Amino acid sequence: MQKQAGNYQVLVSINPPDVVPGTARVTVYVERGRVGNVEARAVYFNAGDEASPSPDRLIAAAGQPNNLSGDIWLMDIGSASIEIFLNGPDGKAKLIVPVMSVATAQRTMPVGTGALLAGLGVLLVVMLITIIGVSVTQAKLNPGQAIPAAYRIRQRLSMALTALVLLGILTAGRFWWESREKRYQSINLYRQLDVNSTVKTVGVKPQLLIEVDTASLARNNRPLSFIVPDHGKLMHTFLVRFPQLDAFAHLHPIRHDTLHYQTALPPLPPGQYRLYTDVVYQNGFAETLTDTVTLRGSELQSYIASDRDDSWLVDPNTTKQPLRLDGSMASCGKPGAYVRLSDGSTMIWTDKPTDVLETDQLYQLQFAVADAEGRPAPLEPYLGMSGHAALVREDGQVYMHLHPVGTYSMAAETSLVRRIADTARTYQYPNAQFFRDSIDRALKSLNDLTGDEYNQRLGATMPGMVHEKDGNRHLNMVAFPYQFPSAGRYRIWVQVKRNGRVLTGAFETQVRAAWQ
């Protein structure tokens, strides 16, 4: 998250644990402002402010007073946030960073540690049996007295009985451990909600249907009636053709009922596509639903977009040849790879530090747009922001929807901020049908707006963003803070809006492991 909080501009990086309970690594970079103390704590949606722990102080790095970090415990699964408190000469401020507290892995004990603990356990059992045997015999004799035969029988019986009791305790413990393991696998371990994507033709117009799998819903309970809009859309669906990565679409399916969504398919080439669908629930929990779908292709003449902000790109052409730019573009940074956009303008990846990026490094992925004459091309708000981006690794196993303010969901942030402001210890959900209908009415009211009113309404739902504007027109640059999680080849689609058109530029980069 990169955001303005009071008089401070901060960049927050949170590395959540893959097992819960676990600690999240929280790092706060104070980019602007004089800060003296930074604290953080975990706040769950269900618990709210009143039932949350006191904050822990973050520690500044040596010689870097504006770079602070610490470990914050996440004790339960569910929708959570890290609440950060800033205090210094420039005043007090706080911000909420949404965190999905979910277990995504199951740890195994190292073989050496297991062998050591097993050996110590056997030793303790033998010692306990021996101690019990001695306590009922030799402990009752005088020093040097011979052990009577009856005492030896009693010793053997007591040791056998102790062994049976310990065996029962150990067996019960094993059953308990296995039941906890099954509970962890069935309840705690995160499983995404399955969706089934199909294509049907209505007249000559292909439609993409997304249906929530009811069997998956029964296993993984989700409050589907409580999906809330993010950037004015209930769903953000990205289609990427694999393995070519040469066709891309960003669509916003329309809800027909709780389980069914539909959108018109743009003229994408035939092939197999990965589907990534982002949704956010009222409790602040955000997740990406994935599926694969086979498209047979369609004609441009038959396409009528279901949503004004739907867009697509086919066969992007990335080049690093010299680019002629106006002198006024010099302030945009050092130009690198560039692509021609559909309106004749050019998108340039500027200030890329190296050809090959590294994992675990925080980058500002910065892009500038120049018009056909090489001059800065001012951008309009797109979904309430200066731009959006989607990033996919070549194998499809890494996907991220990027914003200029970070990788978090603004709708999730809004829900969690409201919950923390609520003094109730337990959240009472409204009537599901009433809530769903109210969201549909609000979206209809938003979509009835045009031009500046539409952009202003969307922008009002996302306060505190860090990007420059000139009235309602953004400057010609957009940047996305991001840290690549793993090595591989990545394709990045950057989307901006200019003269009422959504424009998409596609770039590639190679990422290597930081230790290589």
DSSP for 381-395, please give it: -BTTBS-EEEEEETT
Could you tell me if residue 492 is inside a domain?
Answer: no
Q: How far is CA 67 from CA 9, 10, 259, 512, in A?
A: 13, 10, 45, 25
> Counting Cβ atoms within 10 Å, is residue 20 exposed (0-12), middle (13-18) or buried (19+)?
buried
The predicted structure's pLDDT at residue 324: 63
Mean pLDDT, 10 residues at a time, over the chain (516 residues)? 91 92 94 93 92 93 92 94 95 94 89 93 92 82 77 87 94 93 86 93 86 87 92 96 94 95 94 96 95 84 86 71 61 75 91 90 92 89 91 95 92 92 86 94 91 81 53 72 94 94 94 83
Please identify, among 101, 135, 169, the residue that sits at the C-terminal boundary of a domain: 101
The predicted structure's pLDDT at residue 138: 76
Could you tell me if residue 253 is inside a domain?
Answer: no
**Per-position DSSP letters for 69-115, written without gaps between them:** EEEEEE-S-EEEEEEEEEEETTEEEEEEEEEEE-B-------HHHHH
Per-residue pLDDT tens digits for 165-197: 999 999 999 999 999 888 888 888 898 999 999
> How far apart are the C-alpha atoms of 40 and 58, rounded to whole Å?
7
Q: Hey, what amino acid is at 49?
A: D
Could you tell me if residue 404 is inside a domain?
Answer: no
Please identify, among 156, 188, 220, the residue that sits at the C-terminal boundary of a domain: 188
Provide the residue range defining the domain that includes 160: 111-188
Could you tell me if residue 514 is inside a domain?
Answer: no
> Counting Cβ atoms within 10 Å, is residue 278 exposed (0-12), middle (13-18) or buried (19+)?
buried
> How far apart are the C-alpha atoms of 464 and 2, rounded to whole Å?
9
The predicted structure's pLDDT at residue 462: 66
Q: What CATH number did the domain enclosing 76 receive?
A: 2.60.40.10
Residue 237 contacts by C-beta under 8 Å, 6 or more apart in sequence? 208, 210, 249, 250, 251, 252, 253, 263, 275, 276, 277, 278
68 and 122 belong to one structural domain = no
3-state secondary structure of 303: coil
Could you tell me if residue 59 is inside a domain?
Answer: yes
Could you tell me if residue 409 is inside a domain?
Answer: no
> How far apart are the C-alpha atoms of 365 and 484, rounded to whole Å?
11
119 and 165 belong to one structural domain = yes
Could you tell me if residue 244 is inside a domain?
Answer: no
76 and 135 belong to one structural domain = no
Could you tell me if residue 24 is inside a domain?
Answer: yes
The count of structural domains within the chain is 2
142 and 61 belong to one structural domain = no
97 and 149 belong to one structural domain = no
82 and 134 belong to one structural domain = no
The predicted structure's pLDDT at residue 323: 64
Short-list 231, 232, 284, CA closest to 97: 284
93 and 116 belong to one structural domain = no
Length of the chain, in residues: 516
147 and 124 belong to one structural domain = yes
The predicted structure's pLDDT at residue 475: 85
13 and 79 belong to one structural domain = yes
DSSP H or E run through 245: none
Per-residue pLDDT tens digits for 87-143: 999 999 999 999 999 999 888 889 999 999 999 999 999 999 999 888 888 777 777
The predicted structure's pLDDT at residue 473: 41
**Residues 317, 78 contacting (CB under 8 angstroms):** no
Report helix, strand and coil shares of the chain as percent, to nearest 5.
Answer: 25, 40, 35
Q: Six-digit token pair at 374?
A: 């090489």
**Residues 277, 287 contacting (CB under 8 angstroms):** no
**Residues 27, 68 contacting (CB under 8 angstroms):** yes
73 and 127 belong to one structural domain = no
The predicted structure's pLDDT at residue 145: 76
Please identify, among 40, 75, 101, the residue that sits at the C-terminal boundary of a domain: 101
Angle subtended at Cα 402 by Cα 47 and Cα 272, rounded to the nearest 5 degrees:
110
82 and 20 belong to one structural domain = yes
